[in-house]
Amino acid sequence: MHISSLLSEKGSSVVTITADATVAEAVDELEKHRIGAIVVSGDGTHIDGILSERDVVRALGHIGAELLDRPVRTIMTAVVVTASPDDEVDSLMATMTDHRVRHVPIVTDGTLRGIVSIGDVVKSRIGELEKDRKELVEYINAR
């Protein structure tokens, strides 16, 4: 299955924030949208970085509450692991595991097309396994 299939099921909407926004604003967006990561982008289409809940928690441990007043750029991950809609989901799973990331923006020709989380991948995989199980049960019952 291609990543484009995942995006067609879940949608291609991506929540973004600018690098100049405060960490507090980013946290508000994460909570408001009930997401674990937010893409940092000045124009909503090109990726400047990504900020995850994990990034915030680790920085809070080092910096403390004053972190919330700092700009997102100070703690975002600037080198972002991305994938293409034409990539296979199995390849995406390997990428997530190898790079220890839970959110991967999907990009075509440098333009943001969506984002896939580990939860999206797991949900898709469970759906595939359930379909396979149903087909096997039907095959066995037909004999």
- Output the pLDDT for position 100: 94
Q: What is the domain count for the chain?
A: 1
Tell me which residue range forms the domain holding 87: 3-142
Question: What is the rounded average pLDDT of the residues 77-99?
Answer: 95
Q: Which pTM was predicted?
A: 0.87
Q: What is the mean pLDDT of residues 28-40?
A: 97
DSSP classification of residue 2:
B
CATH of the domain at 23: 3.10.580.10
Q: What would the pLDDT profile of 9-25 be if each residue is shown by its tens digit?
A: 888 899 999 999 999 99
